[in-house]
Amino acid sequence: MLKKPTAVISSLTMPWVALLEGMAFSPEAFSEDRERWSYSGKRGPAYWATLDDDFASCGQGKNQSPINLTQLLDGELPEIELHYPTQGDKVINNGHTVQVNFPSGNILRMEGQAFELKQFHFHSPSENTINGQSFPLEAHFVHADKRGNLAVVGVMFEQGAANEGLQPAWNQLPLHAGGQETLDVPIDATKLMPSSLEYYRFNGSLTTPPCTEGVRWLVLKEPVSISKEQVEAFQRAIPFDNNRPVQPVNARVIVQ
- Residue 119 contacts residue 19 (beta carbons within 8 Å): yes
Alpha-carbon distance of 141 to 215, in angstroms, equals 12
From 92, 86, 88, 231, select the one nearest 172 (Cα to Cα).
Answer: 92
Alpha-carbon distance of 7 to 200, in angstroms, equals 38
Site size for Zn ion (CB under 5 A): 1
Handedness of CA 140, 152, 200, 190 (dihedral sign): negative
In angstroms, give the least distance from the CB of 74 to Zn ion: 27
In angstroms, give the least distance from the CB of 121 to Zn ion: 5
Nearest residue (beta carbon) to Zn ion = 140
Q: For Zn ion, give the closer residue by CB, 30 or 141.
A: 141
Q: For Zn ion, give the closer residue by CB, 140 or 143.
A: 140
Alpha-carbon distance of 66 to 253, in angstroms, equals 14
Q: Which helix (H) or strand (E) holds 237?
A: helix 228-237
Under rule CB under 5 A, residue 143 binds Zn ion:
no
| Helix, strand, coil share (%) of the chain residues, nearest 5 | 20, 30, 50
Span from 88-96, 98-106, 138-146, 237-245 in contact with Zn ion (CB under 5 A): 138-146
Set 96, 121, 123, 140: catalytic member: 96
Interface of this chain with Zn ion, residues 42 to 81, rule: CB under 5 A: none
Q: For Zn ion, give the closer residue by CB, 34 or 140.
A: 140
- Give the residue, chosen from 34, 140, 201, 216, that forms a contact with Zn ion under the rule CB under 5 A: 140
Span from 2-10, 140-148, 170-178, 245-253 in contact with Zn ion (CB under 5 A): 140-148
In angstroms, give the least distance from the CB of 70 to Zn ion: 20
Looking from the CA of 170 toward its CB, the CA atoms found within 13 Å total: 19
Q: For Zn ion, give the closer residue by CB, 11 or 106.
A: 11
| AA identity, residue 132 | G
Span from 23-31, 105-113, 135-143, 158-166 in contact with Zn ion (CB under 5 A): 135-143
- Residue 39 contacts residue 235 (beta carbons within 8 Å): no
Alpha-carbon distance of 85 to 83, in angstroms, equals 6
In angstroms, give the least distance from the CB of 97 to Zn ion: 7
Q: For Zn ion, give the closer residue by CB, 118 or 140.
A: 140
For residue 121, indicate whether it is catalytic.
no
Active site residues: 96
Question: What residues line the site for Zn ion (CB under 5 A)?
Answer: 140
